[in-house]
């Protein structure tokens, strides 16, 4: 079954209080929207359309430079912010072919859900296809669902519609199952439903959520898959950004701990998702590894060391050092209190001694 993806990344993100476009705020060394694109990896989408809007050129340039080739990324621009239904329709228009007899799967994902995992998206599409659903939405159950659209089910537990918080009746506000804004649709049913949307709601916008009610009222089967609220949490402000950073760093550290790396205190170890580590590396507290840093087998790194875009050869020791690029050859002993720059190329077996400064940094 062919899968295409639409990633919604057009919003201004005013609550971030930042000149940087919201999709480009970095989490664990990678722009937020790039985490969402990487979550598509198991699906290997035929097309990934990223709908941009605010600071469109800046967002497009960054995604083009850093997105993986397998994602097959293209872009569509939402010039006016007319809601998620409008954004999805713009994304649909950028897909090749038409939707009239194409029953392939289209998934729609917000660009601000960086904690979403590839396994969950794969399970969503598998459930959607296996049950021959017209649409399948990812839901979560929250103790406090305030602010979220509620999932309204019938007596047979089938999904009937989604009602936004501001449009909900008092009894609907008591529902704790919320819409995560992550969906799988049959393309031939999504296209006509989008064309029938109206802006008759409190926001005066075209809600993608109204597609669910349309399809259910026509007798089409709408399914739901529940996921952890922690995984589906969106990032709308700096506090939520910090929480997402913490969770992603926990995942990253756990990955390396299970793959032959020792950390004396994972809580004081900060590793970007773009870093590569060899076997039997030991990382001491207060160490941060950024960017394209690569550390070979058997190295001791730290304590209190920051390496950015740096290559460290096997069996080296780097202590209390700052490196902004550069190459440290195998079996070297660097630091304490060394400063390595981008033009530094330490040969194998180099011992710098304390307070070493690269010649071009003096």
What's the pLDDT band for 199 if we cut at 50, 70, 90? confident
Specify the CATH architecture of the domain 3-232. Answer: Alpha-Beta Complex (3.90)
Length, in residues, of the chain: 362
Does the pLDDT of residue 1 top 90, yes or no?
Answer: no
CA distance 346 to 358: 10
* Residue 360: predicted pLDDT: 60
Nearest to 121 by CA among 231, 245, 15, 26: 231
Q: Which residue in this structure is represented by tokens 């993806």?
A: 5
Domain ranges of the chain: 3-232, 259-361
CATH topology agreement for domains 3-232 and 259-361: no
| Cα atoms found within 13 Å of the Cα of residue 116, Cβ hemisphere only | 36
Does the pLDDT of residue 186 top 50, yes or no?
Answer: yes
How many angstroms separate the most distant Cα atoms in the chain? 75
What's the pLDDT band for 362 if we cut at 50, 70, 90? very low
Please state which of the four CATH numbers 2.40.40.20, 2.160.10.10, 3.40.50.2000, 3.30.230.10 is assigned to the domain occupying 259-361: 2.160.10.10
* Residue 102: predicted pLDDT: 83
Nearest to 245 by CA among 27, 4, 29: 27
CA distance 192 to 21: 32
Q: What is the pLDDT of residues 229-275, one digit of tens each?
A: 889 999 999 999 999 999 999 999 999 999 999 999 999 999 999 99
Q: What is the pLDDT of residues 63-97, one digit of tens each?
A: 999 999 999 999 999 999 899 999 999 999 999 88
- Report the chain's mean pLDDT, rounded to a whole number: 94
Q: What is the pTM of this model?
A: 0.92
Specify whether the CB–CB gap between 214 and 102 falls below 8 A. no
Q: What is the pLDDT of residues 128-137, one digit of tens each?
A: 999 999 999 9
């Amino acid at each position: 079954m062919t899968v295409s993806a639409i990633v919604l990344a057009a919003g201004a993100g005013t609550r971030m209080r930042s000149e940087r476009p919201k999709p480009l705020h970095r989490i664990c060394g990678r722009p937020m929207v790039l985490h969402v694109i990487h979550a598509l990896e198991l699906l290997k989408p035929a097309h990934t359309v990223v709908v941009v809007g605010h600071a469109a050129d800046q967002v497009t340039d960054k995604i083009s430079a850093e997105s993986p080739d397998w994602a097959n990324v293209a872009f569509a621009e939402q010039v006016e912010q007319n809601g998620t239904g409008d954004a999805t329709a713009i994304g649909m228009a950028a897909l090749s072919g038409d939707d009239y007899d194409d029953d392939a799967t289209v998934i729609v994902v917000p660009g601000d859900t960086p904690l979403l995992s590839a396994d969950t998206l794969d399970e969503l599409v598998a459930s959607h296809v296996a049950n021959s659903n017209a649409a399948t939405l990812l839901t979560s159950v929250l103790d406090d669902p305030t602010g979220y659209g509620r999932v309204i089910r019938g007596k047979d537990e089938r999904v009937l519609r989604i009602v936004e918080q501001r449009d909900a009746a008092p009894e609907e506000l008591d529902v704790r199952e919320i819409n995560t804004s992550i969906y799988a649709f049959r393309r031939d049913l999504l296209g006509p439903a989008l064309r029938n949307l109206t802006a008759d709601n409190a926001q005066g916008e075209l809600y993608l959520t109204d597609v669910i009610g349309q399809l259910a009222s026509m007798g089409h089967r709408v399914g739901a898959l529940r996921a952890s609220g922690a995984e589906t949490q969106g990032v709308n402000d700096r506090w939520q950004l910090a929480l997402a950073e913490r969770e992603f760093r926990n995942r990253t550290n756990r990955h390396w701990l299970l793959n032959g790396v020792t950390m004396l205190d994972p809580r004081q170890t900060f590793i970007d998702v773009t870093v590569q580590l060899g076997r039997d590396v030991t990382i001491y507290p207060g160490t941060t590894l950024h960017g394209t840093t690569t550390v070979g087998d058997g190295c001791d790194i730290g304590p209190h060391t920051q390496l950015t875009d740096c290559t460290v050869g096997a069996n080296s020791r780097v202590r209390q050092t700052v490196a902004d690029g550069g190459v440290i050859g195998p079996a070297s002993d660097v630091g304490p209190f060394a400063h390595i720059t981008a033009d530094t190329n330490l040969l194998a077996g180099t011992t710098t001694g304390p307070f070493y400064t690269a010649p071009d940094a003096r």
